[in-house]
Amino acid sequence: MINEALAAPPALLTGDWALFLDIDGTLLEHADHPDAVSVSAELRSLLQDLERKLDGALAVVTGRSVAAVDHLFRPLKLRAAGLYGLEHRLTPDDAVEAAGEPADIAALADEIEAELGHGQAHIERKGRVLAIHTRAAPHLLPRATELVERALATLPKGYRVVPGNAGVELLPLEAAKGAAIRRFMSIAPFAGRRPVFLGDDTPDENGFEAVNDAGGISIRIRPMAKTAAQYGLVGVGETLEWLRSQL
């Protein structure tokens, strides 16, 4: 059930602000497979218009890789933090600061794929991040979580398990959306602005906390549980309507 305790965000933001956006569940409805989503021309146009209004102070902050973001939104290229901040592109023309896949994570991915990959769970290998999506097979989530939590004892220190709405991820400790947002806020055109962050899932909570600490505005989409976000929106449709209202 949607947490109705959160008020809707301000109808119109004023002053100088910077916009940070999660993608899946925020700009796009979730799908059983991460590749089964598409971006409309209308959404691309909306993001371009917002970026123009904000003089470039717009970035996506996502668990997807930057390469996956580019593929999804092409030909549009956005400022982006991928893999929860393990990858960055600080301006649209920059090269991507990328992250490779360590051998121990690759071996773990192979092991989990061998057990769960034929049961409609999707194992997504994202460099140092390993994601197991169970939206198409919810009954596999407990086993997926068990496998990832058990693997923590065999991996080098510095990893954590992050449960999500329909899956589980294994992340390095430094993979945090809040850190990615703070990095953008330290450079032009973001510096000196008020940060606004929209997200929908557990990994976004760290971003909400960072934005709150900076005196910004945090908005959770479909807030079904306890959250650090100050405001809530019911779903993707309402989120897009709210973004359009800021133009």
Pick the closest to residue 235 from 77, 71, 30, 43 (CA basis).
Answer: 30
Other residues' Cβ atoms within 10 Å of the Cβ of residue 138: 12
Q: Which residue has the tokens 């097979």?
A: 137
Q: Mean pLDDT for the chain?
A: 90
* Residue 4 pLDDT grade (very low, low, confident, very high; cuts 50, 70, 90): low
pLDDT tens-place string over residues 66-86:
999 999 999 999 999 999 988
Residue 242, pLDDT score: 98
pLDDT tens-place string over residues 57-67:
999 999 999 99
Distance CA 28, CA 59 (A): 15
**Per-domain residue ranges of the chain:** 17-98+175-245, 103-172
Pick the closest to residue 101 from 71, 134, 124 (CA basis).
Answer: 124
Candidates 16, 22, 35, 104; catalytic one? 22
* DSSP-derived secondary structure letter, 24: B
Pick the closest to residue 232 from 22, 5, 8 (CA basis).
Answer: 8
Phi, psi values for residue 197, rounded to 5°: -130, 130
Residue 97, pLDDT score: 78
Distance CA 135, CA 122 (A): 9
pLDDT tens-place string over residues 183-215:
999 999 999 999 999 999 888 999 999 999 999
| CATH of segment(s) 103-172 | 3.90.1070
pTM of the model: 0.82
* Residue 124 pLDDT grade (very low, low, confident, very high; cuts 50, 70, 90): confident
213 in active site: no
* Residue 116 pLDDT grade (very low, low, confident, very high; cuts 50, 70, 90): confident
For domain 17-98+175-245, give the CATH superfamily: HAD superfamily/HAD-like (3.40.50.1000)
Residue 75 CB partners (closer than 8 Å, separation 6+): none
